[in-house]
Each structure stands twice: as structure tokens, then as C-alpha cells.
Structure 1
Amino acid sequence: MRGFLASSIGVTCAAALALPLTPPALAATAGPVSTTEAVATARPAPHAGTPATTLTNRRAAEPLASGSTQSLPLEPLTPDRGTPSTPSGEQILPRRAVRHFSLVGVVWDDPGAELHGRVQVRTRAVGTGTWSGWQNVETHNADHAADPDTPERTSSRVRGATAPLWVGNSDGVELRIRSGPAAGPAAGAANSSQRPTGARKLPAAPPLPSGLRLELVDPEDDAPPRGASADGSRTGGLNAGASAVTDAFAANAALAPLGATEIAAQSRAETEQAFLTLGGGELTEQQRAKPHIGPRPRIVTRRGWGASEGLRERGFRYTKKVKAAFVHHTASGNKYRCSQSPSLIRSIYRYHVKSMGWRDIGYNFVIDKCGKIYEGRAGGVAKPVLGAHTLGFNSSSMGIAVLGSYGTKKPSKAAVKAIARLAAWKLGLYGMNPRGKTYLRSAGSNLHRKGKKVRLNVISGHRDGFNTACPGRKLYGKLGSARSKAARYQGR
């Protein structure tokens, strides 16, 4: 496998030399462009009784062409405007008009703190002016993160956060958070304060984390035409940092032309031939005689879904190999069209980096409900890129996230098939049997102590490494089918 990676890197370096020279204006700043503080004025919501408010994003914002994030502080609920409630018990953002956004999430200062309670939001649709009903935001999200003690996890920029929720193109918002027993997305929209008459009094609710803020993410949907060149557009242009764009393209140069929006599918015979050619002297006789690798599926590149490369941290981080695949759901809801998948992925990317403080999107791959596969964290789809998807088990693994929430909703057949096709190919590059077992060493999780060698399925659900509901009961129940399909794709 080392031969395969070495060959890929060799092609990558050669291809990088073929890139056009950076314009003089950008040559002096080979890294990401400098950023400015984003300031916007919100319009008062009709009949909301809320005065116009100046919204200031406390994080550096990208140029507007790359989307934007509005970061709004919450305030304690006041039962009557003269007597404040306990600040830690319930916080709100009163109904108001804001700049356009499509995804919401809540962040707080301490990444180690948990939000015990219910987070609910409702939004106003652009165009119709219709307000949605109350929607629950999944609060259990700390299980998706870089491993403990790594620079990415211990960075001062990292914050605690809920899962993101996709709400569609909106220009108004209202939020409420109440401390208490946690409730997942499927718990319904009933107010948690309501309980049957005569019910036993519940214990005191834990305090809410400090520094709560609502994040409103705009993925900037009016993208240039798909065929637009990388000349400063949101689809991977030079204004995102010429060197960062070059690196992202070059990481996949052995698999697709520089600047490609997708990596083409290959037949099994073509995939095996490429594997044998790039594997060089590192392959065993058994691998040469019978390479168990599935046909390479079509993969939309980061440029294909419009990643702004200047947003992430520079450089790539790798683990030694890929011995397992952890399957996730994004818990962002199922109210998206497949044509909106690139916008949703851009939103999650921005939320992970700008709001949560990660170095890049956490997942190595993303799959939508139509079965389309997308490149996630930058560094090369065939390489062992270190992700931030399964706290405690990011080393020697990859994370595959299906867009949506699958606690009560069944995943599509297309999505399950895509998991199998992707796993058969990527795990096959590293000689792993999708129906087999493997050992991973825990970096520390709420299920497995640090340093423990844990026996896991080669295709595991997130909950196998961390005590979490992810990837949702319905998706978790389909993993057996994904393992069988992936093994058949490998010819096992």
C-alpha cells in the first residue's frame, strides 16, 4: 500500500508542476486571503416587536462570494420584563429578520461541555414569508470530533456545538433553548415543560453551557455555471488562496485531471489494473493473483461541490492506513433535495470550520440520499486522510456520512449501495475485507479507554466506537447489508 501512495504522490508532484503560474497579485500571499470582520444590519421582522439589530460576526468571514456566517448571542428568558430568570436555565433569540441563510446550529465556548436540554428553532422561508413550526436541533454532537490531545482538538478555536440543521433558504429566525433531559430530533415539537398533572417533580436541570450563540450559515447558492474556470469564483477559485486550491487539486492528480469536478467511475478490471500498476513492489503474491478491490465509484470532488479552499487550514494530515470505515449520519434533517446536496455540504463545511473551529470538514466522504458520493476532507480520496468524525477512533479509519437524519427515517437503497461501493473500493486499496473484523487502538472515548485495542467490524457504525445515537437506528440496521454488498463488489 505504501507503494500505491508513493506512486500517487509522485504523480501529484509532477502534476502540480504543470499548473499555471500564480498571478503576480497572488504570488505574494501564497496562503489563504486575508479576512475582514463581517458586519450586517438585520431588518426588523414584521409584527415581531423586535427593533433592528446590528449583527456582528465575531469570527473572520470569507469574501461574500464564498458564503457567510451570522453569529448571534442568545439572551436569558425573562418571564416578565422586570424579573430575569436564571440565566443558565433557558435562553432565547427573539423572532427577527436576518440576512439569508440555509443552515442553523448552536455553539458554545467549552468544547468539553455538553448541552443537556432541548434546542428548538423556527425559520421564515424566503419568498413566501411563511414561518415553519418548531424544529428540534440534535444536541449530541461532541462524538464527532478530532481525537483527544491532537492539535485540531486542543486548538483554542474549537467550540462545543449542536449538530447542524438544514432549513432551506430563510431570512427570519427564532430560537429557544431549555435546560433539562436531552431530546433528539425525533422527540417532536412539544414544549419540554409540559408534563401530566400529578407527575413526580423532575430533578433540577443542569446549567446550560456558557457563551451560547446561534450560527446562521449561508452557502451562497447563486454559484457560477458548473463549467466556470477557477478564476476567483466560489467553485475553487484563486481568491480562496491559490496555493490551497493547487494543493487540493494535486492531491487527486493521480485519479483525475487538475481542476476536475468529479473522479470518473472505473470498471472492476480497470480498477484492478490501476491497483496493480500503482501498487508496485509493495503488493503480496496473493494480492497480485487476486486483488480484492471493488470498482472505483464516481466521486464528486471538492471543486465539484464548491469547496472554498481558503476556508480550511493549510496542509493535510494523514494516518498510516485505512483499516475501518465508520458510517455516520449528519443529523441535519431530511428536508433537502438532491440538487441541494452541494449547498448542504458547503454549509456543513463552513459550520465545521468557522463555527466549530475544526481544520476542515470532519468527514472523509459524504453521500446524499440519491446515492451520489462526495469527497470530504481534503488530502486525496485514495489516501489515508486523518478525519475528525469518530472521537477516539480517527486514526487508521475513514468516516462516511450520509446526509440526513436516520433515527426513524429509513435510508434510501441508493445511499446504502453507495456506502457499499465506496467501502469496497477504498478498503480494498488497503487490503481490508468489508465483512471482516479488525482492531483499532482507542485514543479515548466514552466507550473505550485510551490505549485499549478494540475489536470492531471493518464497516462499523459510529455508535460502535462511541456511545451515541449516530448513525441513527434505521441506518445502523442497514450496515449488515452494506458489508455483504461491499464484499461482493470485491469479489469475495
Structure 2
Amino acid sequence: MIMFKIRGMRRYGFLVSSIGIACTAALTLAQGPPASVATVRPASATGPSAVPGSTRSLPLLPLVRTRARGAAVTEQGLRRTDVPRFFLVGVVWDDPDAELHGSVRIRTRSAATGTWSDWQDLDTHHNTDHGADPGTAERVPGAVRGATAPLWVGASDGVEVHVRAEAGDSGRGAAAGPAAALPSGLRLGLVDPGGEPVPRGSGATVSRSGEPSGKAAAAFGVPAAGAPLAPPDATRIPALAREDGRRERPARPGGKETERRGTGPYIGPRPPIVTRRGWGADESLRSGEFVYSDTVKAVFVHHTSSGNNYSCAQTPSLIRSIYRYHVQSMGWRDIGYNFLVDRCGTIYEGRAGGVARAVLGAHTAGFNTNSAGIAVLGSYNISEPPPAVVTAVAQLAAWKLGLHGVNPSGKTYLTSGGGNLYQKGKSVRLDVISGHRDGFPTDCPGLRLYGKLGTIRSAAARYQGR
């Protein structure tokens, strides 16, 4: 039996802010992680002590024209022009296993100009194709919630949202049946990422690179070869040439180094990585435990479906917003992705626990174990990913997979955890660098980005010197 502290849980009857409110619920879980997953509690999970920002929740209401005696509510929404400033929006509901069959349309009012945006559609399947594997400790009923993908809208102070259930299907040639019921507990989440964090004072810390340091390192039993890649207060992990990469050894939580038989020189150069401190993660929001797989056998490429209306200077704010949305709105233990890449090709550390380690993420339902998730910030069904994105993903995959002795252009087998295209327990042959849609019926990582995976595989192999 494992005790997890699910941080960031909030009852939605309140407006919540991370400033001055600390609400942590401790849940005793009947089922722990799979046998191939290790959980380690750091000596101290500390971070910035005062990170501005907030997450607010507004209940959606039935729209007047849909009210009918005895009829299911098939359209809900709201319009508010009196809300504090926010930058990212999404719709959440109570049951993470309930799907929203329908559409979610939203528009926002600019805080700078007072003008309203055009209507935009939200991706309604974020909770089913992303997230922890079914039946695992991180997917506890009542602790996590269903949700749309978040949408970055920039500084806004007004919002209008319409959620409409799709019409039922009565069969070919027949009239459409009654609309499906909407999930219960529909609420609008509004996120303000706040500004830059205020560093916490000295003491045993977990570095913003996610690598244990000081007393925390001793608690992990980290050997010298698994030393942190950057100082505790670093905002960036520096690049490392390929010929120097052989010195890097990812350590398992118990202190045993990962086997790299037959890898030879096949470790790609380490690209520079912005740490969690670099993008301003409030470490008090996430769960204190780090959870690890045995190794990294595959990389899944994603897009965040959060829109492309952001500048690269805004990337830290965007990531802080997604982090808050995943943890406080959806109830996850941390941000779901292991890494994030912005449109300029800058790489950011995602889920805490160590960029060189096999950190268990929540990015590809059913295939999170022994894999890493790289999310490109934006939407790439129609938009072409910039060349800098393709290069960054290839470099990151070459380095990460090389640490674990894996050929980026090869194939591998992963065991399905269920809830995806395959039944639980099935051994599935996949490309080492796969798109999210290869393991789940989803549009992710977008048609245009998915079409670049062949180029990414070839480039990653070259970076490894193959």
C-alpha cells in the first residue's frame, strides 16, 4: 500500500489561489504502481516559496433554450465579464472516465483592448488519451477529473463558453436521435500563471533540474555517475558534446546504474534544457513523490492542442499555466509530459524527477511505463511545425534514448496498460519514436507534426552517430 499526497486538489465551490491556500489531501490507495515502476520520496520537495498565480473554477449552467421538462440538459455555458485576469482556459468535469461527446466553443475578451476574440473550439478528448494508465495509483477515482485540452488565450478579463452535446446516431439514412447527455459537474477553469517565482532559502532541496542534490541526493542513494546535471539553482542544463556524453549514466532510484550494453558511442549530444526553475515551477503544487520506470524504451511525440497564439517569450508562462491546469484543475500529481518544446525549438523540463531518468509521466494512456513524452507547445493539425521544432525533438530524443541504449530508428515492444488501442497486458510493437496516435485513437500530435516523425527518427539516429 502506498500513500500518495495528491496536491492541488480543490473543491470547485471556491475560487482558488495558490497564494495563501494550501490544501493537501492524503489518500490511501489500495493499488500501487506496476511492479516495473518504483516510487521514491525525496528528503524534501521544496521550491519557490511564493509563486504568484491562481486557478479559478466557474460552474457552467444550462442554457435557457435547452430547458425542457424531463429532458436531459444537452447545452451548457456561461458568459462572464467580471473575472480577474487569466491567460489559459479549459473545461473540466467530475468523472475522468466520462467522455464529452460534443463541442466546446469559447471566446475571450482581451484585457488590453477590450475586444472579443473569434470563437475557438477546444479539444474534448484530453482526459482520455492523455493521463495516467487505468487502474494505477495516479488515476484514483475522485482525485482526478475529466477535461478538455487547455487553450492559451493571452491576458483576458472576459469569457463566454458554449458546450453542446452531439446529436445521437439512429443509423444510416435515419434521422438523428436525441443528443447524448453531457458529463456531470462541467466547470470552466481559468488559469493565471503569475510572474516569476521567488526562490526559497537554503536547505535540503531538489534542484530545478529535477535531480536530487545535497541531503536529498543521499536519500536517493545516487551514485557519483548519477550526479545532478546542473547546480540546484540552475535555470538551464547546459549542452554537452556527443563525445562527452559517454560519461552520463542514468541511475535507477535504488542506486543501480542502468545497463547500456552494446551502446558503444551511440549517445546523442545533450541539448540545452530549461529547468523547472527556469520556467518558474511552483514545486509546492505537485506531489512530493517521484515515480520511475525501469528504463526508457520509446518516446511518444505530442502536441498540447493549446493553440499557436503565443510568443516564445511567453513560453514559461504557458508552461506554468499547463502545469496548474494539469495539477489543480485536473487533479494530476504533476505536469503530464516529461519534456516540452516551444515553437522556437527551446526544450523545457517537464515532470519532476530528473531529466536523465526514466520518470513515469502521464502523457500516453496505457503506455506511460518505460516511455518518455515530448510535447510540442501548440496545435499542428493544420499548422506546419517550424524546422527548429523538428531539430529540437530529434536532438532530445537522440540524447534521452541514447542514455538508455536505444536506437531512435528502431522498433520496440511496450506492454499496454489498457484504455488505449490495445487490451491490457498485450505486448505491442511500436516505433521507438512514435506519435501519440500510434497508441491511442487520437489526432495527437497533429497531422503535420506526425508527418515529420520519419525525419525526426532519421535525424536522431544521425545525432547518435549511427
| Category of TM-score, reference length = shorter chain | 0.7 to 0.9
Query: Which of 353, 356, 375 pairs up with 1:401?
Result: 375
CA shift digits 1:138-179 (9 cap, x unpaired): 111121010111111125220000000000011111111111
Q: In the alignment, which of 431, 439, 442 is matched to residue 468 of structure 1?
A: 442
Contact 2:209 2:237 in 1 (8 A): no
Distance in structure 2 (CA, Å) of the matches to 1:469 and 1:103: 21
Query: Does the residue aligned with 2:291 lie in a helix, a strand or coil?
Result: coil
* Match for residue 102 of structure 2 among 117, 123, 140: 117
Q: Distance in 1 between matches of 2:314 and 2:140?
A: 33
TM-aligned CA distance change 1:258 to 1:465, over 3 Å: same
CA 1:86/1:342 → structure 2, altered by over 3 Å: closer, same or farther? Answer: farther
Partner of 1:148: 134
Query: Aligned ranges for residues 63-102 of structure 1 at < 5 Å?
Result: 63=20, 65-79=51-65, 86=71, 88-102=73-87
Q: Which amino acid aligns with 2:145?
A: R
Change (3 A) 1:145 1:245: same
Shift of 1:133: 1.2
Between the aligned partners of 1:381 and 1:454, the Cα distance in structure 2 is 26
Contact 1:261 1:302 in 2 (8 A): yes
TM-fit CA distance, 1:276: 11
If the length of structure 1 is used for normalisation, what is the TM-score?
0.78
Change in Cα spacing, 1:284 to 1:313, as seen in structure 2 (3 Å) is closer
Q: Residues 249-268 of structure 1: matches in 2 within 5 Å?
A: 250=212, 254-268=228-242
Aligned to 1:237: 200
Structure 2 residue 354 is matched with structure 1 residue 380: yes
State yes or no: 1:137 paired with 2:122.
yes
Amino acid corresponding to residue 482 of structure 1 in structure 2: I
1:168 pairs with 148, 154, 169, which one? 154
The aligned amino acid for 1:408 is I
Query: Hey, what's the Cα distance between the residues in 2 that align with 1:67 and 1:313?
Result: 18
Q: By how many angstroms is 1:79 displaced?
A: 2.4
CA 1:330–1:181: 2 relative to 1, 3 Å: farther
Shift of 1:351: 0.3
**Kept in 2: contact 1:79–1:85 (CA 8 A):** no
What is the CA RMSD across the aligned residues, in angstroms? 3.1
| Per-residue Cα deviation, 1:61-109 (whole angstroms, up to 9, x for no partner) | 34474310110001000029x9789552000112422001000000000
* Percent of matched pairs sharing the same residue: 57
Distance 1:116 1:242, change over 3 A: farther
Q: Give the whole-Å Cα distance in 1 for the aligned partners of 2:116 and 2:332.
A: 32
> Quick one: distance in 2 between partners of 1:343 and 1:93?
26
Aligned-partner SS, 2:445: coil
Residue 61 of structure 1: aligned partner: 18
Q: Are the aligned partners of 1:321 and 1:396 in contact in 2 as well (CA < 8 Å)?
A: yes
Give distance in 1, aligned partners of 2:250 and 2:310: 40
Q: In structure 2, what is the Cα distance between the partners aligned to 1:164 and 1:101?
A: 12
CA distance in 1, matches of 2:155, 2:355: 31
CA distance in 2, matches of 1:419, 1:214: 32
Map 1:35-434 → 2, pairs under 5 A: 56-57=14-15, 61-63=18-20, 65-79=51-65, 86=71, 88-141=73-126, 142-180=128-166, 201-221=175-195, 223=196, 234=197, 236-237=199-200, 248=210, 250=212, 254-274=228-248, 286-287=262-263, 290-434=264-408
Cα distance, 1:166–1:284 mapped onto 2, change above 3 Å: closer
Partners of 1:280 and 1:261 in 2: how far apart?
Answer: 28
Task: Summarize the Cα distance change of 1:236–1:434 in structure 2 as closer, same or farther, 3 Å threshold.
Answer: farther
Contact 1:76/1:86 (<8 A) preserved: no
Deviations 1:224-244 (A, max 9, x none): xxxxxxxxxx255359x9756
Confirm or deny: 8 A CA contact 2:193 2:320 kept in the other structure. yes
| Cα deviation, residue 277, structure 1 | 12
Secondary structure of 2:139's counterpart equals helix
Deviations 1:353-412 (A, max 9, x none): 000000000000000010000000000000000000000000000000000011111111
Q: Tell me the distance in 2 between the aligned counterparts of 1:285 and 1:145.
A: 32
**Could you say if the C-alpha distance between residues 282 and 382 of structure 1 is closer, same or farther in structure 2, counting changes exceeding 3 Å?**
closer
CA contact (8 A) 2:8 2:331 kept: no
**Alpha-carbon spacing, 1:86–1:112, altered in 2? closer, same or farther (3 Å):** same
Corresponding position of 1:48: none
> Judging changes above 3 Å, is the alpha-carbon distance between structure 1 residues 243 and 257 closer, same or farther for their aligned structure 2 residues?
closer
Q: Read off the aligned partner of 1:56 and give its amino acid letter.
A: F
Moved more, 123-132 or 328-337: 123-132
CA distance in 1 between counterparts of 2:198 and 2:65 reads 47
Q: Which one-letter code corresponds to 2:84 in the other structure?
A: R
Q: What is the distance in 2 between the residues matched to 1:70 and 1:264?
A: 36
Determine if contact 2:88/2:152 at 8 Å carries over to the other structure: yes
Paired residues of 1:109 and 1:159 also in contact (CA < 8 A):
yes
Q: How big is the shift at 1:293?
A: 0.7
Unaligned runs of 5+ in 1: 1-30, 40-54, 183-198, 224-233
Deviation at 1:258, TM superposition (A): 1.4
Task: Give how far 1:267 is off.
Answer: 1.1
Point out where structure 2 has 5 or more consecutive residues left out of the alignment.
21-49, 214-225
| CA distance in 1 between partners of 2:17 and 2:342 (Å) | 30
Taking the aligned partners of 1:363 and 1:114, their CA distance within structure 2 comes to 21
Q: What's the secondary structure of 1:303's corresponding residue?
A: helix
Contact 2:17 2:56 in 1 (8 A): no
